[in-house]
Structure 1
Amino acid sequence: MAKTVIIEEFGGPEKLKVVDREVGDPGLGEIRIAQQFAGLNFIDVYQRTGMYPGQLPLSLGMEAAGIVDAVGEGVTHLKPGDRAAYASMPPGAYAEVRVMPATQVVKLPDGIGFDTAAAMMLQGLTVEYLFHRICHVRKGDTVLFHAAAGGVGLIACQWARSEGINLIGTAGSDEKCALALEHGATHCINYRTEDFAAKVRELTDGRGVDVVMDSVGADTFEGSLNSIRPLGWMISFGSASGPVPPFSIAELGAKGSIKLTRPTLFTFIAERETCQKMADHLFEKVESGAVKINIGQRFKLDNTRAAHEALEARKTTGSTILEI
Structure 2
Amino acid sequence: MKSPEKLQQLSSQPDETLYRELLPYLAEDGFFRVLEGGSFVEFHKKLSLLSEEERGTGIGLALMAQVNISGRILEMAKQAGSQKAAEVLQKIIEGKAICSTGVTEPGWKGRLKNLQSRISEAGDLNFQKGFLTNGYGADYFIIIAKDEKRQTYVPVLIPVDSSQMSIERIHTEFTPEATHCRARADKLKILEEDILPLEYEAHALEYRLSEILSLTAIFCGFGKKLLRKLKENGELKLLSEEDKREVFYLHEHLQNLEARIWDISGRKDKGVKMEEEFPFGLEATASVFFSGLDRIFGKEKVSSLSKDRSLFELKDPLNEILYRKAILRFFR
The normalised TM-score by structure 1 is 0.26
Larger gyration radius, structure 1 or structure 2: 2
Which structure's residues are more often helix, by fraction?
2
Which structure's residues are more often strand, by fraction?
1
The normalised TM-score by structure 2 is 0.25
